[in-house]
Structure 1
Amino acid sequence: MTLTLTSASVHSAEVDALLAGLLLMSLAVLALVFGLIWTYAIRYRAGNTEDRGAIGQKSWRIEIGWTVATLVVFFALFVWGADLYVRLYTAPGNALKIYVVGKQWMWKVEHEGGQREINALHVPVGRPVQLIMTSEDVIHDFSIPAFRIKHDVLPGRYEQLWFNAQTPGSYHLFCTQFCGTDHAAMIGEVVAMQQADYARWLTQNGGSDTLVAAGRDLFTRYGCSGCHQAGPTGGGGTVRAPSLNGLYGSPVPLADGTTVFADDKYIRDSILLPADQIVASYAPVMPSFSGQIGEDDLIKLIAFIKSLAAEGPS
């Protein structure tokens, strides 16, 4: 049996160092405070002839000194932790995007090439991987202890998390938020592979369609193409609706005078709750698809709309 936890990602050693620093400083302060308590309790106990000095004599230099010293150290640890937090939740631009949907009681994973997994996640080593996560039902929590990462997965929202695996191998995946009777069974496996092996795995487990291709089919099936222009040749009907070409990542002026940026959350909300954010100069005529489109299909639709960013606005 070992008391150490496997360290297998770029940031895991730094997370361990930060926690060790916090633990050591806390123990040092604990030892100082209780050491002084016991020293003075014994040295100046009732009946002891130890010289206690004049009652009017007192100095705050020692108290101020150790208080300031510990404050400086803890503040330095705080700055270090804040910097690490920002880096842990800011994915590099070249990160490989993988979609994760939590559901009682399983993890559903889908790669951009259409490969699907249940309670398993295959990733390449040496490359940043960004997880885009949501839940179909209740709050879950996605945790890979060997990578020192965990994040709540919430229904109705997209949460993002990233890591960079460094050591090939198989690692535990847990849900660490109680989510129902079979919460303990909501576990999985993360398989970190050499990049050549990962490319081979993608080829051998290729889906029938990529996310973009599947999203294009859904876009037509749900009738979106009857109103929205999407692509150089498709879309646009008798109803005046915003073009989706070049939408993703661009600012969107709203009827209430505010402006939002079209990210995954905005597109998702526009599909399920179209009346919440009306685009300026357009009538609120789009129907809500809430309860009609599942999270799996939403991921595909969003992937297709994101692919239209290259088309540019029309």
Structure 2
Amino acid sequence: MKEHLLRLWPEQASDYAVSVDWLVIGFTAMMVLFVVPVFVALWLFIWRYRRGRKADRDHRAQSNLPIELTWIILPFIGSLVVFLFSARLFFIARTPPADAMEIQVTARQWMWKFQHPGGQREINTVHVPARRAVKLTMISEDVIHSLFFPALRIKQDVLPGRYSMLWFQAEHSGTYEAYCAQYCGTDHAAMLARLVVLDPADYERWLQANGTQADLISQGETLYRQFGCGSCHGTASAPPLEGLYNQQVKLADGSQVLADDDYLRESIMLPQQKLVAGYAPIMPTYSNLLDEEAVQRLVAYLRALPAGPAKENP
């Protein structure tokens, strides 16, 4: 039976976590380096110039240019180093690899729902392979949540009505805790999850053991046909969807928008918000018919549609 010990520092499950820890340690050391001398000098002056002690109390201004320049330049250089290192980590955290495996995450009071590309679904537990980049595309069905993996040193708010992204690459197999880091209601403290990192071979066996009849794209295609989307989008009544993802779309007001995940979701749930130029506002809203998981499947299907040979995006 594994003992639960008090940990003064969270374990490190990724190289990114190691870098974040070194940033914290370096920043703390720099603060100590510059703050301790100030406090030491403060107490020396308090002792030297205490009441009743004979000391030179001449208040005429004196200056020492080398000391003043050193006190200005060294903290500036240290702050610049911390800034550059922090900016590098921020850029890494916001730039997932192009070949990252994508998992859909839906948050609601008070649980986490995960769906793998192969259609496998989990609640409050997510299995991922070690040493492979994993991208989480997240949305909330109710209020603001925040998915936090202490062992990975990463956290991202999960918002209602728009997608947010989080990615990581766990280097070490094991089971790690995840929390909601944004107060979201009465049972916020119970909104917990587990990250299970498996060796690649073990992860493939887990996928096979928990396989479904249809992957995420196929499930989206089923919904696409179920709601008869092709009856309009396959004709001149609605804009074509083939090859639409990540393309610029011209709107009726003359502006342009990138057809990313948020645009596709908004076009499904609130189609009248951003009308495509040249088309009438005939598409009904599906906000009362589809939940966020169904929308994620539709978006996955639309993202996978290849460009048609005879159609061009508006």
CA contact (8 A) 1:245 1:312 kept: no
CA contact (8 A) 2:216 2:297 kept: yes
| Aligned with 2:263 (options 263, 266, 271) | 266
Letter matched to residue 182 of structure 1: D
Return the alpha-carbon distance in structure 2 between the equivalents of residues 56 and 112 of structure 1.
71
Letter matched to residue 71 of structure 1: F
| Aligned with 1:256 (options 253, 269, 282) | 253
Q: CA deviation at 1:99?
A: 0.5
Q: CA deviation at 1:311?
A: 4.8
Q: CA deviation at 1:53?
A: 5.8
- Summarize the Cα distance change of 1:142–1:54 in structure 2 as closer, same or farther, 3 Å threshold: closer
Q: Does residue 290 in structure 1 map to residue 287 in structure 2? A: yes
Return the alpha-carbon distance in structure 1 between the equivalents of residues 149 and 309 of structure 2.
38
SS in 1 for 2:122: strand
Return the alpha-carbon distance in structure 2 between the equivalents of residues 302 and 280 of structure 1.
21
Q: What is the CA deviation profile of residues 2-58 of structure 1, one whole-angstrom value per residue up to 9, with x for unaligned ones?
A: 423210112010000001111112222221221221111212333333345672543
Q: CA deviation at 1:310?
A: 5.3
- Summarize the Cα distance change of 1:115–1:52 in structure 2 as closer, same or farther, 3 Å threshold: same
Q: Does residue 162 in structure 1 map to residue 167 in structure 2? A: yes
Q: Which residue of 2 aligns with 1:232?
A: none
Q: Does residue 202 in structure 1 map to residue 199 in structure 2? A: no
Q: Which moved more, 1:302-311 or 1:131-140?
A: 302-311
Return the alpha-carbon distance in structure 2 between the equivalents of residues 311 and 58 of structure 1.
75
Q: CA deviation at 1:108?
A: 0.3
Q: Which residue of 2 aligns with 1:276?
A: 273
Letter matched to residue 261 of structure 1: L
Letter matched to residue 154 of structure 2: I
Identity of aligned residues (%): 43
Q: Does residue 309 in structure 1 map to residue 314 in structure 2? A: no
SS in 2 for 1:146: coil
TM-score (norm 2): 0.93
CA contact (8 A) 1:243 1:313 kept: no
CA contact (8 A) 1:216 1:304 kept: yes
**Aligned residue runs from structure 1 range 234-253, under 5 A:** 236=235, 240-253=237-250
Q: What is the CA deviation profile of residues 57-98 of structure 1, one whole-angstrom value per residue up to 9, with x for unaligned ones?
A: 433542342132112201220121011111111100010000
Letter matched to residue 31 of structure 2: S
Letter matched to residue 14 of structure 1: S
Q: Which residue of 1 aligns with 2:88?
A: 83
CA contact (8 A) 2:244 2:307 kept: no
Letter matched to residue 199 of structure 1: E
RMSD (CA atoms): 1.7
**Aligned residue runs from structure 1 range 43-54, under 5 A:** 43-51=48-56
SS in 1 for 2:208: helix
Q: CA deviation at 1:194?
A: 0.7
Return the alpha-carbon distance in structure 1 between the equivalents of residues 49 and 29 of structure 2.
29
Q: Does residue 112 in structure 1 map to residue 112 in structure 2? A: no
Q: Which residue of 2 aligns with 1:233?
A: none
| Aligned with 2:134 (options 129, 133, 140) | 129
| Aligned with 2:233 (options 215, 228, 233) | 228
Return the alpha-carbon distance in structure 2 between the equivalents of residues 32 and 161 of structure 1.
41
TM-score (norm 1): 0.93
Q: Does residue 37 in structure 1 map to residue 42 in structure 2? A: yes
